[in-house]
Chain A
Amino acid sequence: MIAFGQFTEVLLGGLLAGFLYSLVALGFVLIFKASGVFNFAQGAMVLLAGLALVRSLDFLVAKGFPYWIAVVIALLFAAAIMALTAWVIERFVLGPLVNQDGLTLFMATIGATFIIEGAAQMAFGSDVYPLRLFPTDAIFMFENTFPGGILVNKLDLWGAAIAAVLVAGLAVFFQYTKTGRALRAVADDHAAAQSVGIPISWIWFVVWLVAGLVALVAATVWGTKLSVQFSITFLALKALPVLIIGGFTSVPGAVIGGLLIGAGEKIAEAYLGPYIGGGIEYWFAYVLALLVLLVRPQGMFGERIIERV
């Protein structure tokens, strides 16, 4: 017999973890929506942002700055680094590859991944750096509804709140601003967008910058959770099934996909894991994504793929 309280705790923990996955998946969706590039470098960008943030923060704190000022300066510094990265990638990697097919661009971003990983670790070091921006202690909730209450990590709540704000902001940006509309035009067709006077290199810079800033936000949460270290780049792989389920082109899809994966993973691990050996978290998300694809090849919220001969 499954205790309802325990089930709710697993479900809630999974949903909140799912928000954190969507934070990473968002970066992918942004770039894919705006440039048709499947950006494999997102995980590396999270690492770079995290390293820039934590190293400058440690440096400033050691110099005797008050903590909150140090945090603000470090965030600005990391944002500047992401802007620089966006410019370099646009100028030297993607700019020369305009109008190539998706696979080539995808490979180019894998190349960029190597460069970012190497450069980030060379510039900022390659140890494990703990980051403490958010409280990480666990609290009990709903103590009067369930006996004993439900154990929830405060960090997960912060992550969920941040993801919600981010999604709302991005949705507004894409729907109502001039740049947002230009971004969608570029995603539809590079050449056509250029021909109506949209400066494609500027648009791509903006997109990569926004993706970099999303990576920075993801880095603040994930860095607090896992410490900033190399293995944070594997988040990119974790975000892929989220993308598949949500669809490459849908911002809300990224969030819902993240929630589904997070909850499904935790429930499967808790109730299926004991029977077939633990660690199924490792592949569960992918198999779930595969099943979704068999039913809906464009993901749950992706735009319908129409093909003509």
Chain B
Amino acid sequence: MLYREVGQFKTTYAADMAMFPIRQDRVALWLVLLVAFVGIPMLSANQIWPFGSDYLLRAILMPFLILALAAIGVNILVGYCGQISLGSGAFMAIGAYSAYKFGTGVSFPLPFAGFDVSIPPLPMLFSILLGGLMAAFVGILFGIPSLRIKGLYLAVATLAAQFFFDWVFIRVKWFTNYTPSGSVNAPELNFFGFLVNSSIEKYLLCLIFVTVFAFIAKNLVRGNLGRQWRAIRDMDIAAELMGIRPLYAKLTAFAVSSFIVGVAGALWAFIYLGSWEPLAFSIDRSFQLLFMVIIGGLGSILGSFLGAAFILILPIMLDQVPHALGVPISVETVSHLVFIVTGSLICYLLIVEPHGFAQLWSTAKEKLRLWPYPY
């Protein structure tokens, strides 16, 4: 009754191509954006529960937004183009360290040319975007094997990127500006004179990035490029016979995906962590992102958000439950229990809904259209 598109006629071509063709979806989207952009900052400014302290902003909402952005990037590659990647952590690291280098000034000697190349510290926004571009560039390089390698073999091949860059950022001191401990501090978050300091400002910054990139991604995947990706995913040989260039389609998927993941990495390092070491982008991060995409739903932007929320919030909830119930369990046992429950839930979800939360949502939509009079 509430969710029914009866009577919504498309009278213009623009309406026919709308991103959200159903009015209820549009309303829901505006409501979510309103809550995120206006509601939460207002609650936070007035210290209303649950935003009394900035724990919720700092420890849940910020990582959720950034990881959702990274999950969108991974989803473009894995969900839309069908190229499994276990190297997303490395691309986050490349984004983070490149942005750090551009933000603090790059200089390296060119012995054969006889002079030094040096770039002064760039504004923060450009550093972050350049970090994404560097990640995209490396992504294309590591995407080249995908032209020959498929499926799980490719997944293992992308691990090469992960381990190689883990090593590079630990060993090559140039990337960390020769800090003795190997951990680096983000430069101050100066956006054209506007300093981002408090939790709520950082949250809004993440939100702007995520919203912009989510819209870009949503439009990319339903456009020409997205159709090429999906054709390659469904059957690459058939797609090639139909005139889609696998080289172009696969490498653009790697580039776009790595760009978004790289930007997410820069945000993760600069805004969420503040100071970080290479371990922040280890193989565990890659797996976490892949989980988000699979649990959320392959080939769905909404799914990326749902998956990120689930994978991020589940361990935090599980950590809190025994405390809340007053059960005395040692910290070690709790961490083992979190492992077991997370694993079981992943298996359970894969069994009951192999296509992830996004599929659950579209099933629910089908049900809602007929509600309350299903035939």
Contacts and interface: CB of A to CB of B under 8 A. Distances in A.
Interface of A: 38, 92-93, 96-97, 100, 102-104, 106-108, 110-119, 121-122, 126, 237, 240-241, 243-244, 248, 277-280, 282-283, 286-287, 289-290, 293-294, 297-299, 305, 307-309
Interface residues of B, number: 45
18 contacts: A103-B151, A107-B291, A107-B350, A108-B351, A111-B343, A114-B343, A114-B346, A115-B347, A117-B343, A118-B343, A244-B153, A279-B171, A283-B160, A293-B148, A293-B149, A294-B148, A297-B153, A305-B150
Contacts of B291: 107, 110
What DSSP secondary structure best describes chain B's contact surface? helix
Contacts of A38: 152
B354 A112 contact: no
Interface of B: 84, 145, 148-153, 155-157, 159-160, 163-164, 166-167, 170-172, 235, 237-238, 241, 283, 287, 290-291, 294, 332-333, 336-340, 342-347, 350-351, 354
Contacts, number: 134
Given A119-B336, A277-B172, 13 more contacts: A93-B347, A114-B340, A114-B342, A115-B344, A121-B339, A248-B153, A286-B157, A286-B163, A287-B160, A289-B157, A293-B149, A297-B149, A305-B150
B350 A286 contact: no
Contacts of B155: 106
Contact of B337 (A113, A118, A240, A287): A118
A249 B114 CA distance: 53
A207 B235 CA distance: 31
A286 B319 CA distance: 36
The 3 closest A-B pairs by CB, nearest first: A114-B343, A118-B339, A111-B346
B340 to A, nearest CB: 4
Contacts of A122: 333, 336-337, 340
A112 B347 contact: yes
B291 to A, nearest CB: 7
A305 B148 CA distance: 11
B171 A277 contact: yes
A118 B170 CA distance: 29
A284 to B, nearest CB: 9
A114 B167 CA distance: 26
What DSSP secondary structure best describes chain A's contact surface? helix
A112 B340 CA distance: 9
Contacts of A100: 350, 354
Contacts of A121: 336, 339
A293 B351 contact: no
Nearest to B295: A107
B229 to A, nearest CB: 16
A116 B346 CA distance: 13
Contacts of B235: 309
A111 B163 CA distance: 22
Contacts of A298: 153
B164 A287 contact: yes
Most buried by A among B152, B164, B332: B152
A100 B333 CA distance: 34
A97 B150 CA distance: 22
Contact of B339 (A117, A282, A305): A117
Contacts of A244: 153, 156-157
B350 A282 contact: no
A299 B156 CA distance: 12
Contacts of B160: 283, 286-287, 289-290
A203 to B, nearest CB: 20
A110 B287 contact: yes
Most buried by A among B148, B290, B351: B351
Contacts of A107: 290-291, 294, 346, 350
Most buried by A among B148, B290, B332, B347: B347
A96 B346 contact: no
B152 A102 contact: yes
A240 B145 CA distance: 17
Nearest to B159: A286
A282 B343 contact: no
B340 A115 contact: yes
A118 B343 CA distance: 9
A203 B342 CA distance: 28
Contacts of B170: 279
Given A277-B171, A293-B157, A309-B241, A106 B152 contact: yes
A308 B238 CA distance: 9
A100 B153 CA distance: 18
Given A118-B343, A277-B171, A290 B241 contact: no
A142 B169 CA distance: 42
Contacts of B350: 97, 100, 104, 107-108, 111
A253 to B, nearest CB: 13
A297 B351 CA distance: 31
A237 B338 contact: no
Given A103-B84, A280-B167, A119 B340 contact: yes
Contact of B347 (A106, A111, A309): A111
B351 A96 contact: yes
A279 B170 CA distance: 10
A139 to B, nearest CB: 33
Contacts of B164: 283, 286-287
Nearest to A290: B160
Contacts of B336: 118-119, 121-122, 126
A270 to B, nearest CB: 17
A277 B173 CA distance: 11
Most buried by A among B235, B333, B346: B346
B54 to A, nearest CB: 31
Contacts of A277: 171-172
Most buried by A among B151, B153, B166, B172: B153
Contacts of A248: 152-153
